[in-house]
Every structure is written in C-alpha cells, then in structure tokens.
Amino acid sequence: MGEKVDWDPPISLEPLKERKSLHEFQEAVERRLERSPGGAVAVFNMRQFKYINESFGREKGDQLLAGVISAMSQRKKKEELFCWVGGDVFYVFIDKWDRDYVRQRLESYLRGAARVSMRILKNSQAAFYCGAVISNPESATENYSLERMLTHVMYALEKAKEFPGNKIWFFDAELHKKELQENRVELQMQRALREEEFKLYLQPKVDPVTRQLKGAEALVRWYMPKPDPDPDSNADPDPEKDYILIPPGEFMPVFERTGFSSRLDQHMLQEVGNLLRSWRKKGIRPIPLSVNLSRKALFEESYIRTLEWVKANYQIKNGEITLEILESVAFGNLEIANEILEKVRNMGYRISMDDFGSGYSSLNVLAKLKIDELKIDQAFLRGMEKGSREERILETIMKLAKDLNIPTVVEGVETLDHETLVKSLGCGCVQGYLYSRPISACEFTEKFMKDSQNGYQFQI
C-alpha cells in the first residue's frame, strides 16, 4: 500500500501523424510575417539519430521522435509555430527578434526534447543542436527575407553541429561573410596556381653602412582576376584594372589551414631558382635570394624533393638561396627540425630564422637550432624611442647573435632614425621601406640589377 511504482506512461505514436512539409511551414511563416514582420526561424537536429535507431531499434526510434514532437509542441506558445518535417528535423518560428528572449525560448524547446529522450532511452540521453536566424525589421542589415532566413538557418545549424552537447548557434552575418570569403579563396587557389596568378615580388636586403644591395627576399603577391571584367572588351588585360593585388597576409592563413601553403612555397622556390638562372643567362651577376617557408613545408617530403630539384635544375650555387623559417617550426619538433635542417644545409641552402622576437620567442630554440641568419622582427623598430626598453632588448639580441656568431637582419627600417640606430648596433644587413617596398621581379631587375658588377647603391 502506498508503495511508489516507477511507471512510465506508454509513449503514443500519434504525433508521428503530424508530419508537415517544409513548404507548409514556409507558407505558415510567410502569413505571420505578412501580418507582422520580423522574428526567428530555428531548426533542430538530433545528434546521431541514425545510430540511436540502429542500436535501440526502429521502434524505440519512432517512440523517441513521437516523444520529442509532443514535448516540443507542448512548449510552443500560441504565437509560435512548430513543425516536424520528417526524420530528426524540427522547425520553430518565434515572432520576436530580441536575441535573449529567442535564446530562452529555444533553450526551453531543447530542454523539453532532452528530457523526454532521457525518459525514453532510460539511461541514455539524446543531444540536440539548433541553428537559428533572427530577422530584425528595424535593422538595415539584418532584416532578411524568409528565403534568406531558411538558407542562413541551415548554415547556423552546420555551425551548431561542430560543438558538443545541446547547442544553439545564431547565424552571424559577419562570420558568414568571412567564411564565404575563405571558401572562395580555397576554391580559387588551385586554379590560381595553374593560371600563374601568384607573382614573385622582391624586397632588397641592404648594408646600412654602405647602402649597398646585398640580396633580396622573395614575397608572394596574388594577382586575382576581378570577378567580372567587361565581357565585351577585346582589349588586352591591364594588370592594374582587371586584377586585384592581394598581399599574403590575406590568404596565407587560409592556405596554412588547408595545407596549400607548402605547395605555394614550392612554386615560389621554383620561381626564385628560375630567376637566378635567367639573371645568369643575361650576364647579370646574381645576388643571394631568400624564400619564406610555411610551418609545414619543412616536414613535407615533396618540399625536400623540390629543394633537390631546384638546386640541380637551375644550377644554384651553394649559399645562393636562403630559406626563411619561423621559430615555431621547432616547437615540439626540435630534434626532427634540426635533422631536416642539417640535410637541407648539406644541399647548399642557408637557413634563416624569420620574425625573431614576435610571438613566443624562446632562447632555447636559438641555442638548439642550427641557423645561418637571424631576422629580427620589425615590431622592435615600430614606435621605438631612444632609450626605450625595446631598444635595450634589440641591443641585447644583437649582442647575443654576435656572440653566437649568427649574422642578423633587422626588418622594418622605415626612417633615417631607424637606420642610424641599427648602424650603431652593428647590424650588417637591413630591410625596409626606407630603401624599397617589395616590387615585381621584373621591376627589381630593371631597377637594381643593371649595374651588378659593383652592386646597386641606394640614394636616400
């Protein structure tokens, strides 16, 4: 008597008859928006529903769906719309656009769904994720058509899926724009390589005492065709008009993520090899050139093979090409990195450590990595004042490099004051806008390589 019985009411499968098409949902929302514009559309998915169906059986899967449909319908307010469109896909419309309010409402739907799933699956619980988009009729930029909302909401759902557990993700126009741009870059890069849109630019390396040209750094520039050049025009393409010049800062981070960067590095290495050979053929005495390496390149077999090939194919002399690596290549890989660097140096390449002093510099890396040159980050010169802490640090780094017998290059020399300072610190080589910005390889050859016997001397 009075004993508590753990009794679950049977789950009715009736709600499964309430399936509607997305089109019906769309029409219902349309009618609401006509009466009063603005509101939120959300779509819910169940994580691993297929797996639940398989491991718990189809019958349990049906019960779960029916339970979720009825739990969510019960949470629905009069002004809201709820619709199950089949599978594990549920749509909700909320007639408000205040984000906090919408979030609260969606959390309530999520809680309802999660709770009922626990009751049905006993010890397990299904997790749900939800994408949402809010259209604000008072906003100039976030007042979307229903069609747009239905596209954006799917994008938000994809984002929500990337996170664990019960997750709500609101469509974010800024992020969306950025990701679209990244996707565009990704789609375009293979084609761009084929169409030779990546151009070799060079920036001089200069002796600050004599102002003589000592070498140059290769820097990539992307000449991307404008999306829609005049289709009726028969005129030859004008690089200034029909192309957009994109600096590496805008695409290298994406390339690094996709792994395309080392492919591009190989291309730049070949371009540099080719330029050295073409100078030689024209009777111009080559100057040493540096190329940049992305983080992964050094660890890729194909990059090492390209190094061998370039050396042999373009008859590159020892020390003529320097590879600029970032100190982060060594983090966690110091021994492997040193092994590879040793091999590469034995092939006749010099190794330079780029951007030293930016990010998380570690003196340990400097002690353990075998390098032939240290490039000091331009951040030290930027905004530096006489007697400042930056100046003292720069001085100490230069002294340290001297003790270790490693030649230094200071980047970012923009003014005569900068030049005076680096000279006083005994720096043998500098780079910066004071002498020249990076320019195309053609222009560089024209400007600086004609009198190559004595080496070009900069006039300032």
Q: Smallest distance from the beta carbon of 224 to ligand C2E, in angstroms?
A: 15
Out of 261, 292, 322, 408, the only residue in the binding site for Mg ion (CB under 5 A) is 292
User: Which of residues 324 and 373 has its CB atom nearest to Mg ion in the complex?
Assistant: 324
User: Which of residues 411 and 419 has its CB atom nearest to Mg ion in the complex?
Assistant: 411
Q: Smallest distance from the beta carbon of 217 to Mg ion, in angstroms?
A: 6
Q: Which does 455 bind (CB under 5 to 8 A by kind): Mg ion, ligand C2E, none?
A: none
Four-CA torsion 96, 98, 99, 103, nearest 10 degrees: -50
- Main-chain dihedrals φ then ψ at residue 331, nearest 5 degrees: -60, 120
Q: Which does 433 bind (CB under 5 to 8 A by kind): ligand C2E, Mg ion, none?
A: ligand C2E
Residue 414, interface with ligand C2E (CB under 6 A)? Answer: yes
**With contact defined as beta carbons under 8 Å apart, do 122 and 55 qualify?**
no
Q: How many amino acids of this chain bind Mg ion (CB under 5 A)?
A: 4
Out of 37, 225, 229, 248, the only residue in the binding site for ligand C2E (CB under 6 A) is 248
**With contact defined as beta carbons under 8 Å apart, do 43 and 152 qualify?**
no
Q: Smallest distance from the beta carbon of 118 to Mg ion, in angstroms?
A: 55
**370 CA to centre of own chain:** 30
CA atoms within 13 Å, Cβ hemisphere of 443 = 11
Residue 252, interface with ligand C2E (CB under 6 A)? Answer: yes
Gap between the terminal Cα atoms of the chain: 103
Residue by residue, DSSP assigns 5-42 as ---PPPPP-GGGGG---HHHHHHHHHHHHHHS--EEEE
Q: Smallest distance from the beta carbon of 354 to ligand C2E, in angstroms?
A: 5
Residue 106, interface with ligand C2E (CB under 6 A)? Answer: no
Q: Which does 220 bind (CB under 5 to 8 A by kind): Mg ion, ligand C2E, none?
A: ligand C2E
Q: Cα(162)–Cα(164) distance, rounded to whole angstroms?
A: 7
Which tokens hold the place of 448? Answer: 């600086």
3-state secondary structure 129-168: EEEEEEECCCCCCCCCCHHHHHHHHHHHHHHHHCCCCCEE
Stretch that binds ligand C2E, among 148-156, 261-269, 401-409, 420-428 (CB under 6 A): 261-269
Stretch that binds ligand C2E, among 36-44, 171-179, 396-404, 425-433 (CB under 6 A): 425-433
Q: Cα(269)–Cα(292) distance, rounded to whole angstroms?
A: 9
Q: Smallest distance from the beta carbon of 268 to ligand C2E, in angstroms?
A: 4
- Interface with ligand C2E in residues 190-219 (CB under 6 A): 203, 219
Contact positions vs Mg ion (CB under 5 A): 292, 324, 354-355
Contact positions vs ligand C2E (CB under 6 A): 203, 219-220, 247-249, 252, 261, 265, 268, 292-294, 324, 354-355, 378, 411-414, 431-433, 438
